């Protein structure tokens, strides 16, 4: 009888992370609530039937991205979202029983793709206030470590890792790929791009899903030393990125003002929102991305439920006790969220008083 490979059978069943359609304000996926640039939309709408009938030219997009990054095209591979970049690295470098090393809490796809490639996963918990546990990560490296991922800024915490710590990990693991996942780079501004190629085993991935508002287009990029990117090109479909996405990307790259304005708005709304959340008595952590991690403690489930009822989706993070991750939307949207928090707390306090006033049975 036909059976999937053992490592696939052992994966947990798939659950779509998307919230249902009746949700009006989706703040659980770190998408842009502003949407993509109007110029991108116009470009997509202007595509004609003949263009759609053609296989896409990924190289055109790749050339533009390599110019934006200031890296030679041989170091740049356009991917179907950063997800595909992670998957490609796992498939290219991991043999069964090799090891993936991540620090937690972490973006879940690293573990899924690595396990599907047959890897064992070593998880190192973050340090105080979600700092990167550099010494523990270095100590956990073994001869079977083949991929180490450092998410910078981290999802779901928003915390960042210093260049020195990243370099320390690279030097301690010469036989392992080190992937710096810069999915939220635009909101942070610091990058390891300058050492790509010099450090042979260092890779960077970026995405156009966040700051560019193109999550539905599925566009990401993998950057690494030319010989490694060349090896990965041998295994990738030449048409992994579709033609609508390539056209959208070309226009998006030309409209950098749109991206800069959106990033500036998110950063300022994020700091305002953190102050509001603190005034309501909740702890949040400094974030360098388009989301914040907020501790709601024991009230988490009750608050999440009420928010859902009002059409607002926040991301539960059971891996950070009592916490939710909240995407930063437009200023007006986040004002609505703060009002909703206030209402939820009022409702909970009223329900509490009612329970206390119940006569003893």
Ligand X SMILES: Cc1ncc(COP(=O)(O)O)c(C=O)c1O
Residues at the interface with ligand X (CB under 6 A): 30, 81-83, 107, 151, 155, 181, 183, 207, 209, 215, 220
C-alpha 241/C-alpha 353 separation (Å) is 56
C-alpha 48/C-alpha 58 separation (Å) is 18
Q: Shortest distance, CB of residue 250 to ligand X, whole angstroms?
A: 17
DSSP 255: -
- Whose Cβ is closer to ligand X: residue 83's or residue 165's? 83
- Whose Cβ is closer to ligand X: residue 99's or residue 181's? 181
Q: Shortest distance, CB of residue 83 to ligand X, whole angstroms?
A: 3
Q: Shortest distance, CB of residue 80 to ligand X, whole angstroms?
A: 8
Residue 134 host element (H or E): helix 134-140
- Whose Cβ is closer to ligand X: residue 215's or residue 336's? 215
Q: Shortest distance, CB of residue 82 to ligand X, whole angstroms?
A: 4
Distances from the Cα of 98 to the Cα of 113, 117, 143, angstroms: 13, 9, 9
Residue pair 150/132 in contact by the 8 Å Cβ criterion: yes
- Whose Cβ is closer to ligand X: residue 110's or residue 341's? 110
Q: Shortest distance, CB of residue 174 to ligand X, whole angstroms?
A: 25
**190: three-class secondary structure by DSSP:** coil
- Whose Cβ is closer to ligand X: residue 215's or residue 348's? 215
- Whose Cβ is closer to ligand X: residue 33's or residue 276's? 33
Residue pair 351/310 in contact by the 8 Å Cβ criterion: no
- Whose Cβ is closer to ligand X: residue 318's or residue 361's? 318
Residue 294 host element (H or E): strand 291-295
Q: Shortest distance, CB of residue 215 to ligand X, whole angstroms?
A: 5
Residue 220 host element (H or E): strand 220-223
Residue 79 sits at φ, ψ, to 5 deg, of -130, 165
What does the block give as tokens for 188? 């942070």
Stated length of the chain: 361
Distances from the Cα of 272 to the Cα of 30, 262, 278, 318, 331, angstroms: 18, 15, 10, 26, 9
Q: Shortest distance, CB of residue 270 to ligand X, whole angstroms?
A: 16
Q: How far apart are the first and last CA of the chain?
A: 60
Q: Which residue's CB atom is positioned nearest to ligand X?
A: 81
User: Pick from 296, 181, 224, 176: which is nearest to 73 by CA?
Assistant: 224
Q: Shortest distance, CB of residue 223 to ligand X, whole angstroms?
A: 14
Angle at 296 between CA 352 and CA 311, to 5 degrees: 85
What does the block give as tokens for 251? 């226009």
- Whose Cβ is closer to ligand X: residue 218's or residue 274's? 218
């Amino acid at each position: 009888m036909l059976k999937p490979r053992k490592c696939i059978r052992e994966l947990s069943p798939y659950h779509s992370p998307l919230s249902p359609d009746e949700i009006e304000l989706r703040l659980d996926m770190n998408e842009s609530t502003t949407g993509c640039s109007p110029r991108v939309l116009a470009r997509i709408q202007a595509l004609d039937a003949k263009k759609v009938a053609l296989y896409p030219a990924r190289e055109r997009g790749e050339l533009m991205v390599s110019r934006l990054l200031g890296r030679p095209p041989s170091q740049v591979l356009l991917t179907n979202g950063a997800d595909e970049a992670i998957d490609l690295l796992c498939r290219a470098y991991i043999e069964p029983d090799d090891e993936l090393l991540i620090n937690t809490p972490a973006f879940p796809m690293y573990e899924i793709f690595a396990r599907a490639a047959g890897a064992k996963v070593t998880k190192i918990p973050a340090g105080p206030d979600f700092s990167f546990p550099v010494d523990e990560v270095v100590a956990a490296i073994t001869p079977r470590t083949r991929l180490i991922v450092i998410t910078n800024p981290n999802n779901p915490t928003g915390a960042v890792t210093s260049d020195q710590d990243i370099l320390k990990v690279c030097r301690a693991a010469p036989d392992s790929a080190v992937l710096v996942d810069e999915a939220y780079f635009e909101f942070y501004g610091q990058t390891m791009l300058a050492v790509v190629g010099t450090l042979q085993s260092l890779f960077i991935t970026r995405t156009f899903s966040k700051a560019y508002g193109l999550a539905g287009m599925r566009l990401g990029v993998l950057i690494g030393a030319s010989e490694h990117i060349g090896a990965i090109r041998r295994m990738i479909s030449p048409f992994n990125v579709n033609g609508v996405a390539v056209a959208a990307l070309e226009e998006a790259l030309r409209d950098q003002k749109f991206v800069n304005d959106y990033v500036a708005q998110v950063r300022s709304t994020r700091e305002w929102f953190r102050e509001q959340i603190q005034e309501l008595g909740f702890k949040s952590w400094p974030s360098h991305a388009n989301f914040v991690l907020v501790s709601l403690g024991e009230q988490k489930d009750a608050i999440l439920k009420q928010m859902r009822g009002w059409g607002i989706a926040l991301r539960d993070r059971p891996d950070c006790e009592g916490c939710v991750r909240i995407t930063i939307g437009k200023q007006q949207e986040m004002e609505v969220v703060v009002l909703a928090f206030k209402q939820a707390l009022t409702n909970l306090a009223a329900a509490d008083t009612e329970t206390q006033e119940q006569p003893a049975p």
